[in-house]
A and B are shown apart, each in its own frame.
Chain A
Amino acid sequence: MTTITDEAVRARRTEIAQIPLSRVVSVELRKMFDTRAGFWLIASLAITGVFATIATIAFAPDQSLTYYTFAKAIGFPMTVILPMIALLSLTSEWSQRSGLTTFTYLPNRRRVVLAKTLSSVTVAVASMGLAFAAGAIGTVVGSHIAGTSTVWDLSLGHALTIVLGNLTCLLTGTMLGMLLRSSAGGLVTYFVITLLLPTLFGLLASTQDWFHDLRPWVDLSLARSSLFEGMHTGDQWAHLAVAVALWIVLPAAFGLRQVMRAEVK
């Protein structure tokens, strides 16, 4: 039989090397693509990107067919989909109960979570790269069709803050994944946080004076919007740092503690 080696072979394997983090990251990346749901979720990044490009060419006024318009249009669906990818990569271990094997292949749960976060970030950065490339094609094609001049109005610095903005979206998903460890609960909470909460904050700020000045510090989506629109002042960075600490770092730290302790059943 092939699976059972003799004593000699066993003795040879006295020192088994630790699993390197790079290997865990590559396995976690693979796990994001290898189910039908995962595959289509990631494919939807490309599909919505193409639609966004076409829609921009078709519907945007000719004079605004600039690179920034395209990059923004293609990047928007990603801000919605990337957090879902990050969230599901974590929660599926509990919802699908595959954590039972994942955590026995690698009992150090902190490394599993780290690998999952790194692989989500890899997907995000790669898809942002594609978005910028698709945006460039859209800009050239769009301006050609409209007969306007090609405008490259996105600085490298601004591009980087857009990537950063997307990463904060993504990490919201990671945070919720650790905190809730449930796919359904995580997705619902994510949409409450991103869709409902900003509206509530807006309402509160317009009716309550005390909240008006507080809002920039506690409203993550407001603080993040300056990353997408372009960071201009130190205040904007300060607002962002506080909001990220409040909505991502703190709950993520609490969530990680839960992940470390939670029983995997």
Chain B
Amino acid sequence: MITIENLSKTYGGTSVVRDISFKARPGRVTGFLGPNGAGKSTSMRMMVGLTTPTSGTATINERRFVDLPNPGREVGVMLDASAQHAGRTGRETLTIAQRMMGIPASRVAELLELVSLTATEADRRVGNYSLGMRQRLGIAAALIGDPQVLILDEPANGLDPAGIRWMRDLLRDYADHGGTVLLSSHLLNEIEIIADDIVMIGQGRIVCQGSKTELLQAAGTVVRSPDSERLHRALVAAGIAATESGDGAFRTGAGITEVGRAAHKAGVLLTELRASDSGGLEDMFLELTADTQRERTAA
């Protein structure tokens, strides 16, 4: 279980992470979703003590990461697969982890097999690895201590479709056996495929969180009028928050009936009114991130 409470990080005058709170629960894969620069990596670094929070706390199984006696045995961490000494072989990288954690040497070979790195590949230097191979090595290093919690930053980056599928099955199985997984991504599809719970972050703020099922149901409405200004005024008058998408349509979290009634009341002609389809999460992702961007320009 990962518990984040009111976590914030400010650099100089710039807020990178603003008062985020959420939980990643055992038995579930929690997807930490947000566009690049939303504060995902900073949040994750704060969880594992690499960055000191300005305020708030992050605990893993009720303890701060820095207070864990042997963190590798309780939390598997992969923040950047490329952050490995280029001159070490893959096998040596895992051996260092194994020795530091004080676990049997046989784990190295077990993990290499689990992540499908061959003996030849394992004896090559990490500097010669492809990004996909580094991700596999990073996953192996995260899992080697047999932890109950996994924190992975963009683990699917650089994996081919087969690799993404492999990762999904691996994490699914891990969670099904009671493990807690928190993984970040800026790609909605990945999160949609792997995660049970979703925490969406934009401009350092959590814009929405909940189970994937819940969030999918909550997908909103698309509405379009030749007179988009009047439509916008009508929506505002009815107290409906809406975002204008690039093609002149508005997207909103409000229901179809509510939107239709608002347009009717204002006498606005509609050319389109429907529930948003095509992976409602994507609409919401774009909408929510657009929302936070708008807030920033307004501020």
Contact = CB atoms under 8 A, between A and B. Distances in A.
Contacts of B79: 100, 104
Contacts of B69: 16-19
Interface stretch (A24-32, A72-80, A121-129): A24-32
Nearest to A96: B85
Contact of A101 (B70, B84, B87): B84
Contacts of A106: 71, 100
A132 B105 CA distance: 36
A119 to B, nearest CB: 13
Interface string B29-64: 000000000000000010011111000000000000
B66 A27 contact: no
Contact of B68 (A3, A4, A107): A107
A108 B68 CA distance: 10
Contacts of A18: 69-70
B174 interface: yes
A105 B83 CA distance: 14
A35 B174 CA distance: 33
Interface residues of B, number: 47
Interface stretch (B140-148, B191-199, B231-239): B140-148
B248 interface: no
A37 interface: yes
Interface string B175-207: 001110000000000000000000000000000
A212 interface: no
A9 to B, nearest CB: 8
Residue from B52, B96, B173 having most chain A Cβ neighbours under 10 A:
B96
Interface string A37-50: 11000000000000
A152 interface: no
Interface in B50-109: 50-52, 65-66, 68-75, 77, 79-80, 82-88, 92, 95-97, 99-102
Contacts of B51: 263-264
B97 A103 contact: no
A92 interface: yes
A98 B73 contact: no
Nearest to B51: A263
A4 B177 contact: yes
Given A4-B173, A96-B85, A264-B50, A107 B71 contact: yes
B97 A101 contact: yes
B74 A16 contact: yes
B258 interface: no
A153 interface: no
B50 A104 contact: yes
B122 interface: no
Interface string A146-179: 0000000000000000000000000000000000
B82 A97 contact: yes
A19 B88 contact: no
Given A7-B178, A16-B73, A97 B87 contact: no
A234 B102 CA distance: 47
Interface in B132-184: 141, 143, 146, 148, 173-174, 177-179
B111 interface: yes
A263 B45 contact: yes
B10 to A, nearest CB: 13
A265 B148 CA distance: 24
Contacts of B97: 101, 105
Contacts of B114: 1-3
Contact of B86 (A30, A96, A104): A96
Interface string A89-121: 000100011111101111110000000000000
Given A4-B177, A5-B146, A35-B88, A19 B102 contact: yes
A16 B61 CA distance: 13
B83 A97 contact: yes
Contacts of A34: 88, 92, 96
B110 interface: yes
B88 A10 contact: no
B83 A2 contact: no
Interface of A: 1-7, 10, 13, 16-19, 23-24, 26-27, 30-31, 34-38, 92, 96-101, 103-108, 261, 263-265
Smallest CB-CB A-B distances: 10 pairs: A35-B87, A97-B83, A100-B83, A4-B177, A107-B66, A18-B69, A264-B50, A107-B49, A96-B85, A98-B85
